[in-house]
Chain A
Amino acid sequence: MEGQKNKPVLEVEDLCISFEMYGKGLEKYRLEMVHHLSLTVNPGEIVAVVGASGSGKSLLAHAILGILPGNAKVEGRLAFCGQCLDSAAQQKLRGRDIAFIPQSVEYLDPLMKVGKQVLGTGARREKKQRMARWKQVFARYRLEESVAGLYPCQLSGGMARRVLIAGAVMEPVKLVVADEPTPGLSETLAKETMENFRELAAEGCGVLLITHDIDLAFQVAARIAVLYAGSVMEIAPADDFSGDGSALRHPYSKAFLQALPQNGFCPIAGSQPYAGNLPPGCLFAGRCPKRTDACAGKVEMRTLRGGEVRCIYAE
């Protein structure tokens, strides 16, 4: 057991996700949406993945859980606590050791009372234990027992969020993958949700937090990975994201921070390139103020000041 403690809960190495699609008529082609993504989550650590919509954040989560649609193809290595995470392992581990917290109650069964959904299924002889655990979990997330008798559509936003988290932690999980847990929540509720994740991490759980609310993420996360057009642009300690972002390495992460309403609300021009029409070399070059001809060459991830960055001019 001690050996396992030091191993990362989740290792993602060189992950590529592509989709088979039809073009005009009968021509079929493959579209790569996530390119050579590497990431680790250690026990007790919250790692946030931020980026624009369409940058491949959710695909990463779905790939880890093995719930991508049938026309997707995953390449690269996924490992959970040191063991290879193939589709058989994913099937065994998800819901037990790996929990998924979906975006909204739309992921719950609308015709089943939430208490039953949180309780889940298990062996009959464990029923007593499960009930005890269920009471514990409900108490912990300040859900009254009467909430168990409600249907998902009757929950308010904050309650729904707590129910989803409660459902995820019924089992003693080692890794929590949360996909956009905060949009649509008021600031107090969003902060409370973040606090819940921090508690989970304090118990030794690894948390992969997928979000675009960078201002919330940097308050709880240990490290933040910035995704752009399917590539990691920068992985940096969360402290670098405070203030105006001068400690950051990549121009995109800096632009991200400066676009916050409280930080100037100042956007850069242009938009993320489409996966079917990516430029060669640096994917951000088209919008980058520091761009030169050298940016059209291959840009590798490199280590810099305690973080990693995919930019040849970062300093």
Chain B
Amino acid sequence: MQNKKTGPGLEARGVCFRYGKGAPWVLKDVNIKIGAGERVALTGPSGYGKTTLARILAGYETPVQGEVLWEGRPLPKTGCCPVQMVSQHPERAVNPRWKMEKTLRECWEPDGPFLQKMGIEQAWMKRWPIELSGGELQRFCIARMLGPQTKFLVCDEITTMLDVITQAQIWRVILEEAKSRGMGLLVITHNLALAGKVCDRAVELPKLGRWQGA
């Protein structure tokens, strides 16, 4: 059993990415190493591919060159991925034709105490996504990703669209969960105060790779 803090964790090696042949490179030679239980903030100006990097790290996109490793092995292609991602717009991340109950249980079966910890009320389960606010939806999106197989969570501006109270509520839950199960976090944010509260260290994207003008 490896030590939680010093495990190899998530690593991107020489990742290059672009959308389609001939398109300009979005990411060029990006290297990043995050320990298994580490919480890292990723900042940087908009338009530098922070979201693209997040999608690659969580396996949504395959890098054109380079590789993404989890615990020294490439991310699994099938089955539930140990690295999961939560995105900025919860209303786009849930099926509008599903009741919340089904959305929540798409991957695993969260129990009552867990839902209470997440601040998800029983009455919300029978509602449609359109009947919940962004903050409430985001709780569902996070809860459904926190199955037992999830070892690392990529948070792409997950509270940018939310008010400060909900923001604080959500981060409190995620931090508790991360600490208790030794889960690592990559937090993409523009809010430096928030990054300081949540993360151990911060990295800036333009410094991670080589850029030929943006």
**Do A and B make up one complex?**
yes
Are A259 and B161 in contact, with the CB atoms below 8 A? no
Residue among A189, A190, A212, A277 making CB contact with B164, cutoff 8 Å: A212
A280 at the interface (CB under 8 A from B): no
B151-174 near A? 1/0 per residue, CB < 8 Å: 000000100111111111101100
Residue among A54, A183, A270 making CB contact with B133, cutoff 8 Å: A54
Interface centre among B123, B160, B162, B164 (most CB of A within 10 A): B164
B180 partner residues in chain A, CB cutoff 8 A: none
Residue among A55, A183, A261 making CB contact with B197, cutoff 8 Å: A261
Q: What is the distance, in angstroms, from A189's C-beta to the closest C-beta of chain B?
A: 8
Are A52 and B133 in contact, with the CB atoms below 8 A? yes
Q: For A156, give the chain B residue with the smallest CB separation.
A: B47
A49-71 near B? 1/0 per residue, CB < 8 Å: 01111110000000000000000
Are A266 and B163 in contact, with the CB atoms below 8 A? no
Are B46 and A267 in contact, with the CB atoms below 8 A? no
Contact of A157 with B46 at beta-carbon distance under 8 Å, contacts A52-B135, A261-B194 already known: yes
Contact of A271 with B135 at beta-carbon distance under 8 Å, contacts A157-B45, A157-B46 already known: yes
A54 partner residues in chain B, CB cutoff 8 A: 132-136
Total chain B interface residues with beta-carbon distance under 8 A? 36
Q: Which of B109-138 contact A (CB under 8 A)?
A: 119, 121, 123, 127, 131-136
**Stretch in B52-60, B75-83, B185-193 touching the partner:** B185-193
Q: What is the distance, in angstroms, from B172's C-beta to the closest C-beta of chain A?
A: 6
B168 partner residues in chain A, CB cutoff 8 A: 259-261, 265-267
Residue among B43, B45, B160, B192 making CB contact with A156, cutoff 8 Å: B45
Q: Chain A at the B interface: mostly helix, strand, loop or mixed?
A: loop
A to B CB contacts below 8 Å, 28 in the list: A52-B133, A52-B135, A52-B165, A53-B134, A53-B135, A53-B166, A54-B132, A54-B134, A55-B133, A158-B45, A180-B161, A183-B160, A183-B161, A184-B157, A184-B160, A186-B45, A187-B190, A187-B192, A212-B163, A256-B163, A259-B167, A260-B168, A261-B197, A265-B171, A267-B165, A267-B168, A271-B119, A271-B135
Interface residues of B (CB under 8 A from A): 43, 45-47, 88, 119, 121, 123, 127, 131-136, 157, 160-169, 171-172, 190-194, 196-197, 214
Interface residues of A (CB under 8 A from B): 50-55, 156-158, 180, 183-187, 189-190, 212, 214, 255-257, 259-262, 265-272, 274, 276-277
